[in-house]
A and B are shown apart, each in its own frame.
Chain A
Amino acid sequence: MSEYRVSGRGRIDTAQPVSFTFDGATYRGFKGDTVASALLANGVHLMGRSFKYHRPRGAVAAGSEEPNALIGTRRGAGRFEPNTRATVQEIWNGLETSSQNKYPSLKFDVGAVNDAAYMLFSAGFYYKTFMWPKSFWDKVYEPFIRAAAGLGVSPTEEDPDTYASRNLHCDVLIVGAGPSGLAAARAAAAKGVSVVLVDENAEAGGTLLSEPQARIDGKPAWDWLASELAALREMGVRIMTRTTAIGYYHQNMIGLCEKLTDHLAELPADTPRERLWRVRARQVVLAQGALEKPLVFHGNDRPGVMLAGSAQTYLNRYGVLVGKRPVVLTCHDSAWYAAFDLHRAGAKVQAIVDTRGSVREELVSEAKSLGIPVKLSHTASATSGRLRVSSIRVNPVSGNTVGAGEKIACDAVLMSGGWTPSLHLFSHTKGKLAWDDDRTTFLPDVTPEDCVIAGASRGLWGIEAALTDGAEKGRAVADALGVAGNAVAYAVEDDRTGTGVSHKELPTDRSPGKAKAFVDYQNDVTAKDLRLAVREGMRSIEHVKRYTTNGMATDQGKMSNINGLNIASDALGKKQPQVGLTTFRPPYTPTSFGAFAGYHRGAHFELTRKTQIDAWAEENGAVFEPVGQWRRAWYFPKPGEDMDAAVRRECKATRSSVGIFDASTLGKIEVVGPDAVEFMNRMYTNPWTKLAPGRCRYGLLLGDDGYIRDDGVIGRMTEDRFHVTTTTGGAARVLNMMEDYLQTEWPDLNVWLTSTTEQWSTIALNGPNAAKLLQPFVEGVTLTEEAFPHMSCVECTVAGMPARLFRVSFTGEIGFEVNVPAPMGRKLWETLWEAGQQYDITVYGTETMHVLRAEKGYIIVGQDTDGTVTPYDCGMGWAVGKKKPDFVGMRGLARPDLVAEGRKQFVGLLTEDGSKLEEGAQIVFDPKQQIPMTMVGHVTSSYESEEVGQPIALALVQGGQNRMGDTVYIPMPDRTIAAKITSTIFVDPENARLKI
């Protein structure tokens, strides 16, 4: 047994000893211990250094609210986590832990020089100190702040753990498995009601785990707890431990983070480390309990100074005495019981110091009977001890006068500043809080969610009160669900009810301006900092918080918010509600990125859509690029080729013989119905009425504003059926836009839309030999100029497969797009590939497709257009139906700005020196003008062009269509490039090559 372990106490399993390390030293504890309880059992209080002043710190609490005892944990290779709360991490054989924020060692830390210089590091220190000289920012201040910022060390290795997520629906979710949560579960768990009860701790029970003296319905608390948990399970209640409700989102969706393996020495197979649950509950009961507040006085942060309730937990739950000669300092009855418990367990309590003038007689007499000295109407003005508290200085207070100090030697100070109802999740619901002046605290008022609050989290005190309230709330939610809840009543003996008062910082006989009386332990914010913030003009608690960083640490103000508010409101001379409370935001406790990412990491990080021909491309050495959700073959390099060489070869082969291209990713929408043509007329700029079945047309889609949104070739398969194609990235967007118009503007039209993108594999053949290659496979149509002219479409058979064949060209060569049912795509591809060998068929990727289309001046929506380009800007007025009564964007096109002179227009550019321009480069008319120059456009597309014999570019240039032949300039960092404005069509302007 370790020195501070009390035999026969606690819920640890002494039959299962556990060894772990802390800063390299090996410690022993037992199964059921946390790192903090095991270290305390070994007499170790010093567990870390504070953030700003590097002051020595120990555990101040016993639960997830702990601000000080943050450690690094290593659970084997790659499994390092900083900022783990030692009060939560369970120990197991082989666990390695380390302290943080210290150099070179925890006991001797050079950063503690900040502590001596504390007068420099006051509130707003950063804003004041790092302002000048300005030139210091980059080289001096920022590196300094970055080096000093952050707690712990970020992990550097890839996390080998897996994370999971699940959805869960239930009738009632209860957060917190203390007395009120347990009672709520029992009352709500009527027949047919699904109840989920969650608790962040390793075991359910809450307060009951720390108060074994109570007897519920005649049974000792722990016996009652065991039988109650068994009974609840029997009733079908799902009880989840090590599961934190991290956030309360809209419409009763609650996020839970369940920790599955951090407490295990051996990792089970196929088991994630954490699981994020998205729970949708019809009713929620918040039974989060209350958190004890520290008292604010000089030296209240020394290791050994901790919350009285936590000391009681260490004793009763873990069998650990946090000190053998503690002093209790309190303003609430609860700490008196902690004193009695510790005293009875063998500690010699040196004194109970209460700030109140009168305390319940039974408490005082019990203290006397145990021989514990009692000091009422006292304050604390200092503590001493370097790495562990060794004494406390207490002073009598009479009215506003603080008397002379008296030093009491001790090895622990157990403080209680009263209790704050835990309102975090309630606050997430945007619930309103009501200020309770008597209890100096906020209580829950109304919330827009289907949610009730039970027990200590609404300010009730004592086990019986919590049980009774929980049962009542459980029945209330059952009522709300329309079922009769279970009637339950509880009788509790040895219940420890009590009251207390609340304080700002404690009065002192010394200069308050020099007191290091901490409010926020983790961020090293003192009462003095808060008062300074108010003196310097901060009026709202929101401003005070940001100026001082009070409540901004990883504990999110669980201990500091109410103390901070009390001090700020005192300094402002206003009531607390007028100063306000900062909003709690999710997550309730720090949550790993892994839990949020869930399954979406590694290969499953993001969806990658692949065509049926993708595998062939991969086998044949394609380099891929992402396009929307798809990955597409970019180019197909042969050994020794770089991208430029591969693209040059692919372009040349396609223009001289035949190229094959996977166009399956193009969006496809089947528009069917008697009003299909009317719908097309209204949707697209082009006229469709006279388009005969079996013919296709290039369609242009605008937004309401008249700007180009999408384009594609559209075939009229029959009178009432159109095969619409869209850009790859635009498919979903275009379908949504069409559905939107159809459902909201034109519900009268008898036409329906079906996405057929994935129904078809689409193979494009382009080049002078395309028809020759394809013809032998086609049944039902002859590929001649007469029988199947350019811009025709037909349903036919290709290589024995049912097909929709289009004669279209995005290259300027003879072109076909063959659509066959998707899974047949690869077979057709391989058939054509084999037959194409006689023509030296070449496979090309998206880059070659881009070059070939640019040589013809065909736009790519989203590259050559940017959402501010009209059809006229692009020189595509021909695509706008002049006689149509209306179409989407028609009104937009008439806006004054869109018909004004001098708009940026789509043109070609050829550089004078034959160099290739950079896409996105800005264009000016006069390169000699003063900087900043007037920019008149930019380069949208730029490629090497074997066919043209020099690089070509497309650009948007102010009034460009009337500047043919003019020279413009493209200033680059090293030089200015001159370029001549040309037509956008660089190759075969007569379209002679389209002819078979």
Chain B
Amino acid sequence: MNAPISSFDPFALVETSAAQVRVASPCGRLSLRARGDLAPLNAALGLTLPEKIGQRVSAGNLEAICLGPDEWKLETETGAVAGIEEACAKVYAELPHALVDISAREATFVIEGVRAAELLTLGCPRDIATIEVGTGRRTVFDGATVLIWRDGESSFRMDVWNSFAPHLFALLDTGCRELAAEAA
């Protein structure tokens, strides 16, 4: 697996009876850092930023996940980033914060299938069962920092920096086959 992530086929990269992995379409991603009364930012974003680590809140096509006491990641459509930056810039004086476009920094694997949760145990030391559906966690997979979103009991997304993606995919690929062979 030497190809850069931008060259991955957007369809299923690997599919077995145990799980399948594909690359999600590009989207807008922003790192938001702030502290204090978040009301101005909530107003600017049109949602209430969650304050518990791992919690997610969405409104329209914008979703926010809390990653730390003063840290959120925002996901939206590619074209919506500029609008969010503009809206937040307007409340900067009132509530100083850092908003950084990281849309191009990462790729996302969509991991689904009956044994998707087990597939994650190949590289993630965290107890996957403690990531409830509808939440997410920043953790590690095969030694690299990743953000895991749990969208369903057997449906996950994994955000990872571009240059780590081929290495991580190689393990996901091996794992899909290994788990399928185990069930057979």
Contact = CB atoms under 8 A, between A and B. Distances in A.
A802 B5 CA distance: 20
Interface stretch (A542-550, A820-828, A946-954): A820-828
Given A272-B178, A752-B33, A754-B98, A169 B104 contact: no
Contact of B171 (A599, A614, A630, A821): A599
B167 A168 contact: no
Interface string B90-115: 00000011111111111000000000
B171 A604 contact: yes
Contacts of A271: 178, 181-182
B122 A164 contact: yes
Given A610-B166, A614-B4, A752 B98 contact: yes
B4 A270 contact: no
A754 B6 contact: no
Interface residues of B, number: 48
A670 interface: yes
Interface stretch (B40-48, B54-62, B156-164): B156-164
A758 B165 CA distance: 12
A750 interface: yes
A270 B122 contact: no
Contact of A169 (B6, B127, B144): B127
Given A167-B121, A826-B6, A670 B144 contact: no
Contact of A165 (B1, B122, B163, B166): B122
Contacts of B143: 607
A759 B98 contact: no
A168 B118 CA distance: 9
Interface string A743-754: 000000011101
A7 interface: no
B98 A756 contact: no
Nearest to B26: A823
Contact of B98 (A618, A670, A757, A758): A670
A759 B167 contact: no
B144 A607 contact: yes
Secondary structure at the B interface, as helix, strand, loop or mixed, is mixed
Contacts of A167: 121-122, 124-126
Given A167-B125, A169-B127, A268-B181, A674 B102 contact: no
Contacts of A614: 4
Given A611-B163, A758-B163, A823 B6 contact: yes
Nearest to B173: A604
Interface string A600-613: 00011001111110
A41 to B, nearest CB: 33
B174 interface: yes
A98 to B, nearest CB: 31
A164 B178 contact: yes
Contacts of A270: 177-178, 180-181
B70 A752 contact: yes
Given A164-B122, A607-B143, A599 B174 contact: yes
Contacts of A673: 33, 96-98
Nearest to A272: B178
Interface residues of A, number: 47
B122 A759 contact: no
Interface in A153-174: 162, 164-169
B31 interface: yes
A599 B100 contact: no
Given A615-B4, A756-B105, A758-B105, A166 B122 contact: yes
Contacts of A752: 33, 70, 97-98
Contacts of A353: none
A147 interface: no
B121 A168 contact: yes
Contacts of B166: 610
Contacts of A612: 4, 6, 162
A610 B2 contact: yes
B161 A758 contact: yes
A268 B3 CA distance: 29
Contacts of B101: 759
Interface in A264-302: 268-272, 278, 280
B105 A608 contact: no
Interface string A788-828: 00000000000000000000000000000000011110100
Given A268-B181, A270-B177, A610-B4, A754 B170 contact: no
Contacts of B122: 164-167, 599
B7 A615 contact: yes
A672 interface: yes
B164 A603 contact: no
Contacts of A672: 33, 98-100
B77 to A, nearest CB: 15
Contact of B102 (A164, A611, A759, A824): A759
A756 B102 contact: yes
Given A169-B127, A599-B122, A752-B70, A608 B167 contact: yes
B100 to A, nearest CB: 4
A630 B163 contact: yes
Nearest to B100: A754
A30 interface: no
Interface in A733-769: 750-752, 754-760
A751 B98 contact: yes
A756 B177 contact: no
A755 B29 CA distance: 13
A169 B2 CA distance: 33
Interface in A235-287: 268-272, 278, 280
Nearest to B31: A754
Q: Closest 9 interchain pairs by CB?
A: A821-B104, A672-B98, A752-B33, A752-B98, A609-B163, A270-B181, A169-B127, A823-B6, A270-B177
Given A603-B170, A673-B33, A823-B104, 14 more contacts: A167-B125, A167-B126, A169-B129, A270-B177, A270-B178, A603-B1, A612-B162, A672-B98, A751-B98, A752-B33, A752-B98, A758-B104, A759-B102, A824-B104
6 contacts: A278-B125, A608-B167, A614-B4, A750-B96, A757-B105, A821-B104
